[in-house]
Structure 1
């Protein structure tokens, strides 16, 4: 049996697709398989044992590059199964070689937020042996479009790192609010900013801890949040076109010293930072998957407020997290069907929820610890094993 299994997108430690790919690669090694990385890894932070486990894959890359170069611009034919990454309208995700690559079986892993799919995109998806949807709503929507062989398998969380543990009290007695995810309209940081500005006027001990790094300041989602009707985003970019969160918030009335803007942090180093926080908020307008950052705050036992829409429902339907139930249509839905399923969280409800946590922190933490126990069933180990079982990628016996 050929031990290779192809991953046709970039793995890494600082972006969602990268973390997903890294966990897939590690999961394959647990089955004695050789993850075959068709794209060069992005920024990657591994512990010593993870590095040992992935060393054969890294060592094989020069040979793989040589084989690919021999193909010129022609098809890349692999004698092993290959997983491909797809997004809105079945567009490529971090995998330029994917369209040329064909394995003995080909499976699409897809997360999308826009609901318009061209006939060609549907045909492309139906050309895969299976389509793995990152959320129940993604899966249901694809089946409604006539996409065949769809299976819903949500992402996971690294339960060996993201779990409840004592806090170091590095923020003293301040009430710390965590918000993570790359800054863009879909993620709803304008809603977070508006709610925090009002909440901070009530409680001067509140501090907002942001992890909003976005490597694409000219992307559509950034342009959209700059045009937000909820919180003025016109000053989000500095004079050199770079995102400057502290400057943006300060110019909009958020007091200096009340925000800690974290730099880009590898996924594995986040747990001790997030544990210091009293609550996490995710008023995301849409999530194609379950929202990796929200899964991590939940697994850490931090009370987490989730917008009750799209991919978040895979968590809320499991009774994990605290729902932001007041969801209205986003203004864009009136003229663009791509936004029909998006939800706009109420700033007033966010403030009310923050106030409730502020007044009853111990009670909310107790419930959040129960949420963390439920998250154990969504560990990366279990979710990747479920994915491998679906793909029929059996463990290899020693010696193969």
Structure 2
């Protein structure tokens, strides 16, 4: 079984491709089968030249309206399309894809595990991760943190927002919550300018550069709570799951791909949403949390730190069930069934 996906340690597809290739290589060979990463809302493979006798696609998408234009045709082309979340699977089925299921991304427990907060012990640190774009909701973070930081002098914001793709950064111009005017330039400079322009004091912000996946554990450990008010997630959100695996509680949306992992037992789930019609390079329906509710949960977290520790332990236990070896086994089992069906 071949793997046609990017490899790397600084972006989601690269992490997934690296782990799945390693884990599937340990399993029984299945010649004539290729697992492809799907790179566009048109459900195209990353490398169309690597086409096999049996082809399984793995997809994460948030453009839930645009994808319907391509779903039925894609269903005829692919032997099977695996979704990275049950939300994506639902939309594939709406579009006419019958050969589909959900396989969640794993978490490497040898890298991400609970540990103490070694630095910034006197500060209450909020972590926010994911590339800076409208879908990830950092404008919601900024709007809520402005008020929260005005109330509490000991609060810091730790941001892992580096974005390598300017077209994605530009989507933040659609926000009605912050002032953002896209320009070309160094990402960290743009992020600092945006934070400052929207009332966040930079001396109370830690802006992380693009870090290798293996460097993130200490960033996660040196915070008290994570904030993930994402409007739309095609997968279970690798950064959020790694953060939870480190024994940290998140304040997070429980819609779209987050719904597969967020519970009242392992997180502080946001509950108030309005539909968000996204239209930029493509189109979809997302869910926008309430800034007021985010602030309420930040205040709750600030005042209930023992509860954060308990929820964090449950989060770590729940994330321990998400393994890359488990995901690989699911893909391998599916591929074996398709191979047997083809032979008979």
In the alignment, which residue of structure 2 is the partner of 1:83?
A: 35
Structure-2 residue corresponding to 1:338: 283
Q: Aligned ranges for residues 353-372 of structure 1 at < 5 Å?
A: 353-372=297-316
Q: 1:178 aligns with which of 104, 127, 134?
A: 127
Q: Is the 8 A contact 1:89 1:117 kept in 2?
A: yes
Matching of residue 227 in structure 1 with residue 197 in structure 2:
no
Given the alignment, which residue of 3, 9, 31 partners 1:7?
3
In 1, Cα distance between equivalents of 2:163 and 2:175: 17
Q: 1:375 to 1:359 in 2, by over 3 A?
A: same
TM-superposition CA deviations, 1:118-173 (whole Å, max 9, x none): 555531233212111110111122112211210111111111111112221x1131
Pair 1:130–1:6, CA change in 2 (3 A): same
Cα shift readout 1:64-90 (whole Å, capped 9, x = no counterpart): xxxxxxxxxxxxxxx631111225533
| Mapped partners of 2:159, 2:21: distance in 1 | 29
- Aligned ranges 1:165-244 → 2 under 5 Å: 165-168=115-118, 170-217=119-166, 219=167, 221-234=168-181, 237=183, 240=185, 242=187, 244=190
**Cα distance in structure 1, aligned partners of 2:69 and 2:210:** 38
The match for 2:106 among 122, 142, 156 is 156
Change (3 A) 1:272 1:32: farther
Q: Could you tell me whether the CA contact under 8 Å between 2:68 and 2:95 is conserved in 1?
A: no
Matched residue SS, 2:147: helix
* Distance change (3 Å), C-alpha of 1:265 and 1:272: same
What is the Cα deviation at residue 261 of structure 1?
0.3
Asked which structure has the greater RCO (Cα within 8 Å, sep 6+), the reply is 2
The answer to whether 1:325 aligns with 2:271 is yes
Contact 2:43 2:74 in 1 (8 A): no
What residue is the counterpart of 1:125 in the other structure?
Answer: 75
Q: State how 1:240-389 maps to structure 2 within 5 Å.
A: 240=185, 242=187, 244-316=190-262, 319-330=265-276, 332=278, 338-340=283-285, 342-389=286-333
Q: Structure 2 vs 1, CA of residues 241 and 369 (structure 1 numbering), >3 Å: closer, same or farther? A: closer
**What's the CA shift for 1:9?**
2.4
Provide the rounded CA distance (Å) in 2 between the counterparts of 1:346 and 1:118: 28
Distance 1:104 1:319, change over 3 A: farther
Normalising by the residue count of structure 1, what TM-score does the alignment of the two structures yield? Answer: 0.78
Structure 1, gaps ≥5 residues long: 35-78, 394-400
Q: Partner residue of 1:18?
A: 14
Matched, 1:392 2:336: yes
Q: Distance in 1 between matches of 2:162 and 2:7?
A: 18
Change (3 A) 1:241 1:172: closer
In structure 2, stretches of 5+ residues that fail to align are 338-344
Partner of 1:69: none
User: Quick one: distance in 1 between partners of 2:267 and 2:210?
Assistant: 25
Computed over aligned residues only, the root mean square deviation of the Cα atoms, in angstroms, reads 2.4
User: Stretches of 4+ moved more than 6 A in 1?
Assistant: none
TM-score (norm 2): 0.90
**Alpha carbons 2:68, 2:92 under 8 Å: kept:** no
- Return the alpha-carbon distance in structure 1 between the equivalents of residues 241 and 79 of structure 2: 29
The 5 A counterparts of 1:67-106 are 80-92=32-44, 95=46, 98-106=47-55
**8 Å Cα contact 1:88/1:113 also seen in 2:** no
1:140 aligns with 2:90: yes
Q: Distance in 1 between matches of 2:104 and 2:277?
A: 29
Question: 3-state SS of the aligned residue for 1:151?
Answer: strand
TM-superposed CA distance for 1:348, in Å, is: 0.9
